[in-house]
Each structure stands twice: as C-alpha cells, then as structure tokens.
Structure 1
Amino acid sequence: MKGVSLLDQRVNTFMTVVDSGSFSRAAKTLYITPVSVKKQLDSLEAELGIELLERTNRGVTPTEAGRMYFESARQARSIMDASLQRARFLGGFAARRIRVGTSLLRPASKLLEVWARVGTESDLSIEVVPFDDGTELDDVVKHLGEDIDCIIGPCDAPHWHEACSVLKLGFYDCRVAVPRKRALACKPFLTWDDLCGESIMLVRGGESPVMDSIRAEIEGYHPEVSVVDAPRFYSIETFNYCESRSLLMETLDAWEGVHPGFVTIPMDWGYRVPFGMLYAKRASNAMREFAALVEKAI
C-alpha cells in the first residue's frame, strides 16, 4: 500500500482489513501474518480508545466509528500521496517510474507476472498504486497518466477503447458466483437447468459485448432465468448487494475469493472476457516504452 512511510503502518493495516473484509486476506496483501494484523489493529484501537472493527465468524466489518475513521484516513492518504508524487516529480524521480493501479477486482498481478519476465531489459521501475473500484474507477480511467499510468481489467467494453489505449493480455473465464448459503453452492459445475427459476445479475446491456451475448442467450433460450441489471461495472458493493439478497452473479475466474459470502462455480456456457492494460491515449514516452515491452512479452 502506498504512503506507508507517511501514514502510521497500523492505519494502513486497518484500511487494508476494511478493504479486504478479513484479517487473513489483509495479511496476504501486506505480506505479514494474520497474528501481526490482529496485533496492529488491537494496538490502534487501544491507542484511539474506540472500537474500529466488528469481528464475526464471517469476517470483519467497520463499526460506525470505524467507517468514519476509514474515510478520514483515506482522505489523508490521498493528500499525502499527491504531495509525494509532486515531490518526486520535482525531484526528477518520476520520469522512469510506471504507476500501475490495482484494486480488489482489477488486480495488477497478471501484468506484474509479465513484467517479471522482461523488466530486466529496461531501467523502468514499477510503483503499485491502490484505488477503489466503486468510487474511483471512472476518475482513474479519465485521468490515466496523472496519478496512475495504467490499470489491468476486463477490456471488451466499447467505452474503454474510446477513452484510452488498450493492450489485450489474455482472457478471463466467465463463471457464476453463488451465495454460500444456497444449495447450488455445493455443485462443482452448473448447467442452464441449475439456473431454472433463478435470478442472476449481469452488467447492464450495452456495456459489454460478452455480457450482451449471455443476456441474448438467456432471453432467447432460457426465459426461465431472470436477469437483474448490475451497475455499469462491478465493485465489492455489487457482491454485498447480491449476497444480502441471495442473488446469483455472473463473475470471472480472476475474482474467485474476493467475497467470503460467495462460491465461484464454472458454468457450461463457454463465455470469456478479454482483459488487458488500459493507459492514456497520449501516454508519456516511458509509458509507451513500457507498453511496447509488455506487448513483446505476450
């Protein structure tokens, strides 16, 4: 997480726990043990004199005070990160650094795997910058090249190609996310018969050609399945909404495990969504060089 040297490490750990919903996933993100995560949170709560998190068997959620503290900390981190970026630029350190955005549903891991194979050929360096899928994605894409140079994610939506340059890296398999409390969650594989009488959430029409194809198949051949329109793009709040209402969701294999309330199950429909690197149409020379090296690697 960026800004570690400027924000108390315990605050960064708290924010990671809130974003991930559990101590264990936060520990993986931070490369520390769950015990260390718990100790940091206990120490922070003791020093502040308030309870920041509610611990349950299903994970952790922020208390009302925790939510307020989280938003304040996020604003403080944004201000400090912006100041750090400006300082680095003025100091001449930013010219050869590629800032790769990462989020829960748009992780940078696939790109970093590619870069690990070719990065030794260049003096370019990588800085991983977190952002929020729900509140920041549109703004991140609109301002690619400013605070974040590129992000990785599904890239079949026409508006992505209009808004920025797209370098396709591969494909995600489309699957179905089933709430764990549903009987379907025990199945290793789903068929259209399993979905008879069910409601499934899809990205709304016109936003993704692949999702439009799934929608057309349902309307034309499986009218017993009801479609619920999602927001223009998924965030963790989309998963929360569906879990609270026991709705099925179209999901991607790359998103398996992002929400503890769901099981990700393969489906016999054969749909795949391309994913790739999104970066500014008027990218810097360093970013264009980076894209060329990544394209060479794939």
Structure 2
Amino acid sequence: MYNHYIDTFLVVVACGSFHKASELIHLSSTGIQKQMSALEKSVGVSLFERGKKGSTLTGHGKMFLQECHRLIDVSEDILQKTRGLADSESAPIRIGTSLLSPIEEFNRICRSSASLQSYAMQMISLEHELNLDVSTGAESAEISFGIEPNIGAFDGTDFLPFTKYHLTCAVPVGHPLSQKDRLTISDLEGETLYFPSRGNPRFAMAFSSIMRKEHPEIKIVSPSVYYDLKSMNRCIEEKRIVLFLDCWNNIHPGLVNLPVEWDWTVPCGLIWKKDARKKVLDFIEDFRSIVTSPVT
C-alpha cells in the first residue's frame, strides 16, 4: 500500500528543512521528524543528513526520491484504472439497433423478465443492418443483432439465437408479381433475385449455391453491399426482387414483402464481443436463461 509519509517526505525535500515543511503542511516539526524517522525505519536506511542549517538527502535519499515520483505515477494510474472500471460497470449496456433489427421480439423478451428489466440499456443507432462492428471504440454498441451463419466473419464474437424468420421476397410496387399474395418457385423463374451479401456472406453463398443448382432459371445477384435503404432504392429503380425477411413488412413503401413457398428460414440473435465487460456478459447469461427455458 502507498505510505502517505512519502507525501511529507516530498515536502521536506522541497522545503529543505523540517521547520519550513511544518509551516507549509501545518504539522509540528516534532511530528514531521517522527514521521521521517518512521519512514527511514520502514525503508531500512537513512534518507536525510540532519544539521543545524536544515536537512539534505543522503545517497539513499536521492535514489528514494526518484523512486517516489515513479511510485506516485503508478499509484495514480492504478486509481484511474480502478475508477474507470467502476464507471464502466455502472454504465448502461449499449444495444446496437438499425432499421432491420428484430427489435420487437427483443423488446418483448426483455419486458417479460424482471431480471432483464433491471439492466440499464442505451440504444445505439447503427448505420447498417444486423451486425456488430467489433472494431469500433468505447461509444460503439456492445450488443447487436446478427444472422448465425455470418458470425464467423467477426473474430472474437459470440452468438445467441432467440428467434427465427422466414426468407421472403420484396417485390417493387408496379412489378407484375407485386399483385400476388404469395409467391411460388415457378413465379420466380426468369426473375433476378437481389441478395446483398456484405455482412452475411456465408448465408448468401449457401443460398445462392443451392438455388443455382436446383433452380437455374432463377438468377441470383449477390453484390458486396449492405442491406440498407440505398440498396433497396436501387432494386426499385431496376425493378429487381430483393430477398427479405418476413419481419421487414414495413421497411420501404416502394416494396411489397411477399411470402414464398420454400423452407428457407434465418436464425437471428444477439452478437457480442467475447471479451465484453462483466455487466454485458451477465446480461447475456440472463437473456440466455430466458430464451432457452422450456415453455410451461
């Protein structure tokens, strides 16, 4: 532990005598001498040459002075880190959400649990779809939403599924298929399906590979762009059908989201950094206990 007699030692060194130091720190000369004697006894060497004209440092005292300055710096650094950790643990959990996040189901789960409601949460707006940018700094989201086959693209992250959505097709308003209530595979023959792959390359690759093999009449285009309003506007301009999820019914007024007669589903869940602070990991475990509990 830090010895506060060191503070008195530094004052004595700066003043050059016990008497002058006593005037500065409002402690008697006798009291200061007792502190310095106790400090020397603790260190095991003499730190001062005491004389009628004042006190000067011995060789050991000079070395001790240098180490004291370093000790103070280290002590201050420890205090700042400790206080910073305490502040971090008390700070709200930052949840990243975007236009396409399954936030309604997340909210429903959180509201159903008194344990989850005990956590303070701060919503952070993300620019692009369902992913956590693990490279961002302290003000970034600590938890976000993701698609399971994509999680391997982010080193150091983990995934907890809590819902599943059907893959659908969003058809531009005015497109002949936009008048249908439901699409079949034969409806899509001769059409181009637009599947932005940035952020979910594994799922896009798996879907494209199977569709091209089993349904070569359907063209799949998977540019390395995000699912966002810009890519949706492009599909509308080019009259292309874009792959969607059934939870995205009201994302864009220019697109009609239609179910398709196929069995494609997408698991969605939380993603977070494995080295997240304790409060985040505690939240994840509480959330996990709820979504994995059997329904009674």
Give the shorter-chain TM-score range: 0.5 to 0.7
Q: What aligned pairs does 1:202-221 form with structure 2 within 5 A after superposition?
A: 202-204=195-197, 207-221=200-214
| Distance (whole Å) between structure 2 residues aligned to residue 138 and residue 176 of structure 1 | 21
1:214 is displaced (CA, Å) by: 2.6
| Distance (whole Å) between structure 2 residues aligned to residue 242 and residue 253 of structure 1 | 18
Corresponding residue number in structure 1 for 2:184: 191
CA, structure 1 residues 148+186, in 2 after alignment: closer, same or farther (shift >3 Å)? same
1:151 is displaced (CA, Å) by: 0.8
Q: Kindly indicate whether the alpha-carbon contact (under 8 Å) linking 1:176 and 1:266 is maintained by their aligned counterparts in 2.
A: yes
The C-alpha deviation readout for 1:195-241, integer Å capped at 9, x for no partner, is: 11111112449944443333123211222211112325312211111
Q: Kindly indicate whether the alpha-carbon contact (under 8 Å) linking 2:93 and 2:119 is maintained by their aligned counterparts in 1.
A: yes
CA, structure 1 residues 263+197, in 2 after alignment: closer, same or farther (shift >3 Å)? same
| Distance (whole Å) between structure 2 residues aligned to residue 102 and residue 110 of structure 1 | 13
- Which of 147, 157, 168 is the aligned partner of 1:164? 157
Instruction: State TM-score, norm by structure 1.
Output: 0.62
- Which of 126, 130, 142 is the aligned partner of 2:135? 142
Corresponding residue number in structure 2 for 1:249: 242
Q: Does 1:103 align with 2:130?
A: no
Local SS of the residue matching 1:230: coil
| Distance (whole Å) between structure 1 residues aligned to residue 139 and residue 269 of structure 2 | 19
Corresponding residue number in structure 2 for 1:261: 254
What is the percentage of aligned positions where both structures have the same residue? 24
Between Structure 1 and Structure 2, how many residues are aligned? Answer: 208
Q: What aligned pairs does 1:67-86 form with structure 2 within 5 A after superposition?
A: none
| Distance (whole Å) between structure 1 residues aligned to residue 252 and residue 201 of structure 2 | 23
Corresponding residue number in structure 2 for 1:55: none
CA, structure 1 residues 141+106, in 2 after alignment: closer, same or farther (shift >3 Å)? farther
RMSD: 2.8
| Distance (whole Å) between structure 1 residues aligned to residue 197 and residue 153 of structure 2 | 15
Instruction: State TM-score, norm by structure 2.
Output: 0.63
Local SS of the residue matching 2:287: helix
Deviates more, 1:105-114 or 1:252-261: 105-114
Q: Kindly indicate whether the alpha-carbon contact (under 8 Å) linking 1:99 and 1:128 is maintained by their aligned counterparts in 2.
A: yes
Corresponding residue number in structure 2 for 1:231: 224
Corresponding residue number in structure 1 for 2:119: 124
Corresponding residue number in structure 1 for 2:109: 114
| Distance (whole Å) between structure 2 residues aligned to residue 206 and residue 147 of structure 1 | 17
Deviates more, 1:192-201 or 1:207-216: 207-216
CA, structure 1 residues 262+163, in 2 after alignment: closer, same or farther (shift >3 Å)? farther
Local SS of the residue matching 2:194: strand
Deviates more, 1:266-275 or 1:226-235: 226-235
| Distance (whole Å) between structure 2 residues aligned to residue 167 and residue 145 of structure 1 | 22
Q: Which runs of 5+ in 2 are unaligned?
A: 1-83, 292-296
1:96 is displaced (CA, Å) by: 4.7
Q: Kindly indicate whether the alpha-carbon contact (under 8 Å) linking 1:256 and 1:264 is maintained by their aligned counterparts in 2.
A: yes
Please tell me whether Structure 1 or Structure 2 has the larger radius of gyration of its CA atoms. 2
Q: Which runs of 5+ in 1 are unaligned?
A: 1-88
The C-alpha deviation readout for 1:259-297, integer Å capped at 9, x for no partner, is: 110001111121011111011110111001100110011
CA, structure 1 residues 193+109, in 2 after alignment: closer, same or farther (shift >3 Å)? same
Local SS of the residue matching 2:90: coil
| Distance (whole Å) between structure 1 residues aligned to residue 209 and residue 88 of structure 2 | 50
| Distance (whole Å) between structure 1 residues aligned to residue 198 and residue 118 of structure 2 | 43
